[in-house]
Amino acid sequence: MPKNREKLLYGAAGVVGSSILAWRTLFPWIVYDIQLLKTAVKFGKHMVTNLMSGKYLIDMFEDDVQKSPTKPFIVFEDKVYTYEVMDQQANRVASIASQWKLKVGETVAIMITNEPAFIWTFLGLQKLGIAVAFINFNIRMKPLVQSIRACDSKVLIIGQEDDLLQAAEEVRSELEDIPIFVQGTSLLQSQSYTRFDELMQQAVPAGVCKAVRAGVHPLMPSCYILTSGTTGLPKPCIITQAKAIGFSAFLLFVKCSDKDIVYTPLPLYHSAAGGIGLMGAIGTGATMVLRGKFSARHFWEDCRKYNVTIAQYIGELCRYLLAVPESAEDGKHCIRVMVGNGLRQDIWEKFQTRFKVPKICEFFGATEGTTSIINVSNRVGSCGRVSPFINLFDPVKKYIVKFDYTESEPVRDKYGHCIAVRPGETGLLLTTIPPEVFEIGFYKGSKDINEKKIIRNVFKDGDAFFSYGDLIMIDSNYFAYFKDRLGDTFRWKGENVSTYEVADVMTGLNFIHDANVYGVEIPGADGRAGMAAVHLIDGTPVSNDVLKMIFNHCMKNLPIYAQPVFLRFPKDQALTLTFKQVKVELVNEGYNPNIIKDPLFFRDDVNHTYSPLTKEKYSQLITKSKL
C-alpha cells in the first residue's frame, strides 16, 4: 500500500481539530483536492438522489419534457427539436418496438449516424426497458457481425444512409435470424428488411406507461457501447442503468445546467458523445448542438452561431482546429469550458491562448472502467488527480503502480505485491472494483474476457483491481498525466484500434501467414499510426499485385482509422519463448528506412496501393507531415 508521505497523510486525517490552514501548510497540494471535491459532491448527490428514488436516465428525460416541453433539446443542421418533439418521436419508436414482444433487459442494436433519429430511437427503446447496443457505423463484415452478436441483439435498426444498408446487406446471410429495420427512403434490395419510417408515420405518439419498464433495476443494462478494449474484436461494455446515471451527472464537474448549450461533433456511438454529451445533457436539462461529422472549418462557426457554452473535444480534434489558418474570428464565442480527453500538452497552451478558451477540463477513463479522473483546475497537460487524500473519500480508489516494460506487467516486491509509484514516476493506473461490478462484469460475455482486465494480489493477497492498460505519471501535486497506452490497442484518428482485429482481417488473405500489428508514433500527430509486420506464405513475392490486394482488402474490411499506414515484410517472425509476438523492437524501429532493412511500404491513397517508403519519400513525409 502507499507509504511514507501517504502514511503521514492518513495519520494526519485522523487528528481531531486539524485546521484547513494546517492541512494546507503540511500538504499544499490539498487545495486542488478540495476544489475537485466541491464538484464531486454535486456528482454524488445526483447519483444518490436518483438511485434512491428509482429514477433512471429515461425518467430524467421525461422529467425534462414535463418541466420544459418547448425548450430546445437537440439542434441539428439548423433545425431545432424540442424536448416535447423528441419525446413524441421516442413514443412512436416505443409503440413500434412494443409489438416485438421483447422482454425488459433484452437488446436492440442500432447503427445510425449522428442525427436526431439516433437519440429518439435510443430513448424510445429505453421507455420499454430495452437495452440498446450502439454499433459503430464505420465497421464492416466480421467486426460488424461480432458487434451485433456479442450484444445478443434481437433486432437491428439501421439509419438512412445507403452505405449502412449496403453494410447490412454484405452480412445479411450471417444475421438471417435477426429482423432488420431500415430508416429513411432507400430502395430496399430484398424483402428481408422492413421500412421503419412507414411504421413511424403510422405509430401514435402517446406516452408510455412506466409500468411497462417496472422490472428495470440499477444493474440492468441501459445500453452497450462497443470498444476494441485491449483483447481483440469489438466487445460490448455494459452501461448499466446506474452507470448511465453516472454519465448523466458527468457534466456537473463543469457546472453544466439547463442554461447551457453543449456542442457535440463526436460520434454518438462513443461514450464521449453518447454518454457524457447526450446523457449529460439529459441529466442537466441542457441543449445539445449535434453535428453529423466533425469539421475543423465549421467548428467555431457553429459555436458562434448557436451560442455554445460547453464544447466537447478529443485531442486530435484540437490539433485539427489549430491547423486551420488564423482568423480575426478566433476567440469570438461564448464557450466557458471545453471538456474531453487526449489534448496533448505540447499544443494545450497554444490552443487555449489562440481560441481564448477560459477553461479546459481534461479527463481520463475507459468506457468499461470502474471510474474516471478529471482535471477541474485548468492544469496544463493534466488529465485529473490521483491523490491519497481523494482516496479517503472516493468509494472507488485509484492507484498508480510501477510497471515493467520488458515483461509488460506490474513490478512486484518480494511478497508478490505491486509497488505504488512516487510523485514524478510513471506507472500503471489501477482502480478498485465495486462488488456489483464484479457481479455483472465490465463486458457482456464470458468471464475470461472480463478477467483479462483484472490484476490480482495488488497490495494484499486476494484483492483485485481494474487495469486500464495505460501508463500515467503523477507530479508532486498529485496531478496525473497520460503517458502511453499498453497492450494490443492503440489510438489513431480519435479511435481505438485493436491490433488483433486488424491482424485477423489481414490474415484473411490466403497468401498472408501472419501479421504482427502495432502502433508507431508520428511527429506532430496524436496517438499512433498502424503498422503491420507481414509474413507471407513461403514463395509469395512482395509484388505490386500483392500490395494492391492488401490495400483493397483492408479498405473493404477495416474502417479507415484501422487500416495500416505502414507495412514491412521481415524475413523471420520474432517470437518470445512463449511464442508471443515481439512488438517492442518493432515499435522502437518505427518506419524509418534508415534503420529498417526489410522491404518497407506506406499506404498510398492516391494510387490505391502500398508504395515503397524510400529514404527520400520518408524525408518528404516527415517534413511535410503528410502521414
Does the pLDDT of residue 615 top 50, yes or no?
yes
Tens-digit pLDDT profile for residues 130-179 = 999 999 999 999 999 999 999 999 999 999 999 999 999 999 999 999 99
Q: Are 361 and 374 in contact (CB under 8 A)?
A: yes
Nearest to 10 by CA among 21, 32, 26, 25: 26
Compare 557 and 573 and report the one with higher pLDDT.
557
Of 306-315, 525-534, 584-593, which has the strongest mean pLDDT?
306-315
Segment 497-510 mean pLDDT = 86
Residue 624's φ and ψ, nearest 5 degrees, are -90, -5
Does the pLDDT of residue 5 top 90, yes or no?
no
Segment 384-396 mean pLDDT = 95
pLDDT at residue 579 in the model: 38
Domain residues of the chain, as ranges?
5-47+369-485, 54-293, 489-624
Does the pLDDT of residue 15 top 80, yes or no?
no
What are the Cα distances from residue 507, in Å, to 142, 146, 526, 540, 569?
13, 17, 28, 14, 14
Q: DSSP letter string over 28-43?
A: TTHHHHHHHHHHHHHH
pLDDT at residue 575 in the model: 47
Tens-digit pLDDT profile for residues 343-353 = 988 789 999 99
In the chain, the amino acid numbered 1 is M
Does the pLDDT of residue 229 top 50, yes or no?
no
Nearest to 32 by CA among 306, 391, 383, 375: 375
What distance in Å separates the CA atoms of residue 358 and residue 351, rounded to the nearest whole number? 11
pLDDT at residue 507 in the model: 86
Tens-digit pLDDT profile for residues 250-296 = 999 999 999 999 999 999 999 999 999 999 999 999 999 999 999 99
pLDDT at residue 315 in the model: 72
Tens-digit pLDDT profile for residues 507-556 = 889 999 889 899 998 887 888 899 999 999 888 999 999 999 999 999 99
What are the Cα distances from residue 355, in Å, to 119, 363, 380, 527?
30, 20, 15, 23
Domain 54-293: top CATH class: alpha beta
- Burial string for 301-317 (b: 16+ CB within 10 Å, else e) reads ebbeebebbbbbbbbbb
Q: Are 170 and 61 in contact (CB under 8 A)?
A: no
What distance in Å separates the CA atoms of residue 237 and residue 441, rounded to the nearest whole number? 9
Q: Are 270 and 55 in contact (CB under 8 A)?
A: no
Q: DSSP letter string over 347-412?
A: HHHHHHHHTT-S-EEEEEE-TTSS-EEE--S--TT--EE--HHHHHH-SS-EEEE-EETTTTEE-B
User: Within 13 Å, how many C-alpha atoms sit on residue 426's CB side?
Assistant: 12
CATH architecture assignment, domain 489-624: 2-Layer Sandwich (3.30)
pLDDT at residue 524 in the model: 78
Does the pLDDT of residue 10 top 70, yes or no?
no
pLDDT at residue 6 in the model: 55
- When the pLDDT of each residue in the chain is averaged and rounded to a whole number, the result is 91
Radius of gyration, CA atoms only, the chain: 25
pLDDT at residue 164 in the model: 95
Interacting residues of 33 by C-beta distance below 8 A, sequence separation 6+: 385, 387, 389, 390, 478
Q: Are 230 and 491 in contact (CB under 8 A)?
A: no
The enclosing H or E element of 197 equals helix 196-202
Q: Write down the residue that cell numbers 467548428 correspond to.
A: 299
Does the pLDDT of residue 577 top 60, yes or no?
no
Does the pLDDT of residue 11 top 90, yes or no?
no
Segment 447-469 mean pLDDT = 95
What distance in Å separates the CA atoms of residue 595 and residue 59, rounded to the nearest whole number? 60
Q: What is the DSSP letter of 601?
A: E
Distance between first and last Cα of the chain: 44
Residue 155's φ and ψ, nearest 5 degrees, are -145, 150
Which residue stretches of 426-543 are H helix? Answer: 435-440, 447-451, 499-506
CATH of 5-47+369-485, one of 3.40.50.150, 3.30.160.270, 3.30.930.10, 2.30.38.10: 2.30.38.10
Segment 26-46 mean pLDDT = 91
**What is the percentage of the chain residues whose pLDDT exceeds 70?**
91
pLDDT at residue 624 in the model: 61
Tens-digit pLDDT profile for residues 188-218 = 667 789 999 999 999 999 999 999 999 999 9
Least confident piece of the model among 63-67, 365-369, 524-528, 548-552: 524-528
What distance in Å separates the CA atoms of residue 114 and residue 105, rounded to the nearest whole number? 25
pLDDT at residue 23 in the model: 58
In the chain, the amino acid numbered 428 is L
Burial zone of 346 (CB within 10 Å; 0-12 exposed, 13-18 middle, 19+ buried): exposed
pLDDT at residue 4 in the model: 58
pTM of the model: 0.86
pLDDT at residue 576 in the model: 39
What distance in Å separates the CA atoms of residue 398 and residue 391, rounded to the nearest whole number? 7
What distance in Å separates the CA atoms of residue 540 and residue 257, rounded to the nearest whole number? 62
